[in-house]
Amino acid sequence: MKSFLRPSCILLGLSLCGLVQAASGPWLERAQLDQIPTVRMQASAQPAAQAPARALNYAQTMPLRLDSRSTGQWTQDGADALWRLRLESENAVNLSVTLGRLELPEHAELRLYDGAGYLWQGPFTHDALMRHERFWSPLVPGPSLLLELRIPAIWQQDTSLEIQALHHGYRDLRTTAKSGSCNIDVACSRADPWTDASRATARITIGGRRLCSAVLLNNTRNDGTPLLLTARHCGIGESDEFPPSSVVVYWNYETSQCGGDPNGSLRQNQTGSSLLAEGAAADFSLVRLDQAPPAAYQVYYAGWDARGLTPTSGVSTHHPSGDEKRISFFDEPASAQRANVDGQPVESWSVRWSAGVTEAGSSGAGLWDSSHRVIGQLSGGNSSCSNPQGSDVFGRLDVAWDEGSSPAGRLQPWLDPDNNGIRALDGLDSGAQTLAVQNDRYLGLPADRQQVRLDVLSNDGGQWPLQVLQVEAEHGQVAFQGADLIYTFAPGQDSDTLRYQLVNRWGETASAEVRLDKRQAPLRGGALGWFVIVLLLGRRAWR
């Protein structure tokens, strides 16, 4: 459905929103794909496995110096100029890029496609691309990534873009089997009381090759400043390879069903941050995101407690092995201890889980007490599905509160910016959760296409997990396959109406219908095998 929160079509996979976004098709024609220059790379052997509950390396960085003035292909599209280049790295399960030396006009837009020409990320505007000296892109699945830069043609001679690195992913963060079987999806009913904790938790990548978890925090002004807490050992700002501007945040990366397939969406993301404070004693880093998360993401700004009170029970929500979000429970008091984490002493809360564990990639996740406030972030531990009785340690928020002698070494100046002496605060909800979908029509489907794949769950306009309750077609057949609906036209039929119902995590439902029609003039773009239609869901604006 068209999102009334966003006028343009932001797509996952291949979409038929071409009628709305005629200036730039949502996929590339086969002829265009065949003409795009390709640079092929070869990564070395992947690194060894990592210790549990530590920052997770998922990609290898390959330095490049590819400039749009001398590499790639420039073409004209009306009043616009298009620059395209394909990058390939054999056996990569995902790819991303680092861009630098950017000289772009105000109306520049960058899109990232996979090797089949399906749009995965973007468009990224001039503001997002030029905010820092370099730009780190979100992930595109598969061994091929295609960049498309669109600018007003009159600025072509003054435009420059340099690809400075290609990040070859060797851990599949999208479609592999989930982390250890003892982990608990946040889509499970047991996690329902902790929905706010889930909404505040994010998966982050740093420098295009390292992965951790993080939690969004409220401040005493309750003004929605996007403050993200994670572990210092995740390495934000530790070198020029991992600057704060390289942080990419993925929101609501969750399975749609408890114990279901790993079908989380990576489309809800944002890039860039600034490091505000860090400290070794509590192993914490606090960054401010370049922008507040979009309202459609329905995030939650977590409350916190820096009084140092011993928690008697609670949870942690996190991304073990970089997978979709999980939740771990403890129901006996934590203990305050100085833990040794890889040779570094950390003032921490030590917990033993009654259900669930953590893994590499969970680092930086928040520890929530029974009052639903964050009291620390994951620093290390030895719990696992093979060792569920192992303990994990979280750097203590009360220690990080006034750990350093300057604002760059403690949390207090940022979480209590007016120095009100407040050491415990409730969370901030961006607004009410209301699911709303609208009817839509997709015209001009290719006449020889009998099947259409509809990706109704992967969207920017509704927070996961979303589920399809029921679906029916007037003439053809429709089946639910994973996260997709597979529609098949009846023999001799060239149009149909599909009706379905969605439900969100709060039990709210919404129904919609979509018209499929092969009788209209064809859309721009060529047949690329399966067609994927992304139905964008809208929500009412938050308070």
Please confirm whether the linkage preceding 311 is cis (ω < 30° from 0): no
Question: pLDDT of 242-254, one tens digit each?
Answer: 999 999 999 999 9
Question: How open is the CA angle 326-356-318, to the nearest 5 degrees?
Answer: 30
- Residue 497 CB burial class (10 angstroms; 0-12, 13-18, ≥19): middle
Backbone φ and ψ of 21, nearest 5°: -115, 60
**What's the rounded mean pLDDT across residues 389-413?**
95
Measured over the CA atoms of residue 183, residue 216, residue 419 and residue 237, the dihedral's sign is positive
Question: pLDDT of 154-186, one tens digit each?
Answer: 999 999 999 999 999 998 765 444 567 899 999
What's the Cα-to-Cα distance from 68 to each of 61, 80, 84, 86, 164, rounded to whole Å? 20, 16, 9, 12, 12
Amino acid at the residue 255: T
Q: Quick one: DSSP state of residue 355? A: B
6 pLDDT above the threshold of 50? no
Average pLDDT, the chain: 84
233 as an active site residue: the answer is yes
CA distance 441 to 437: 13
In the chain, % helix, strand, coil (3-state, to 5) comes to 10, 40, 50
Ramachandran sector of residue 13 (left: φ over 0; alpha: ψ -120 to 50; beta: rest) = left
| 55 pLDDT tier (thresholds 50, 70, 90) | confident
CA distance 327 to 317: 4
473 in Cβ contact with 498 (< 8 Å): yes
Amino acid at the residue 534: V
So what's the pLDDT on residue 262?
A: 82
Which one of the listed residues 363, 379, 383, 430 is annotated catalytic? 363
So what's the pLDDT on residue 520?
A: 54
Task: State pTM to two decimals.
Answer: 0.81
Please confirm whether the linkage preceding 465 is cis (ω < 30° from 0): yes
Most confident region among 151-165, 427-441, 475-489, 501-515 by mean pLDDT: 151-165
More confident residue, 456 or 120: 120
Which one of the listed residues 283, 323, 398, 416 is annotated catalytic? 283
Question: pLDDT of 58-73, one tens digit each?
Answer: 999 999 999 999 999 9
**What's the rounded mean pLDDT across residues 28-37?**
78
525 pLDDT above the threshold of 60? no
What's the Cα-to-Cα distance from 530 to each of 13, 19, 50, 446, rounded to whole Å? 11, 19, 38, 11
200 in Cβ contact with 300 (< 8 Å): yes
- Residue 78 CB burial class (10 angstroms; 0-12, 13-18, ≥19): exposed
Backbone φ and ψ of 40, nearest 5°: -105, 135
Question: How open is the CA angle 199-353-391, to the nearest 5 degrees?
Answer: 115
**What's the rounded mean pLDDT across residues 40-52?**
68
Closest CA to 256 of 324, 160, 347: 324
| 34 pLDDT tier (thresholds 50, 70, 90) | confident
204 in Cβ contact with 252 (< 8 Å): no
Number of alpha carbons in the 13 Å side-chain half-sphere of residue 481:
11
Backbone φ and ψ of 192, nearest 5°: -55, -40
Which one of the listed residues 132, 167, 168, 233 is annotated catalytic? 233
363 as an active site residue: the answer is yes
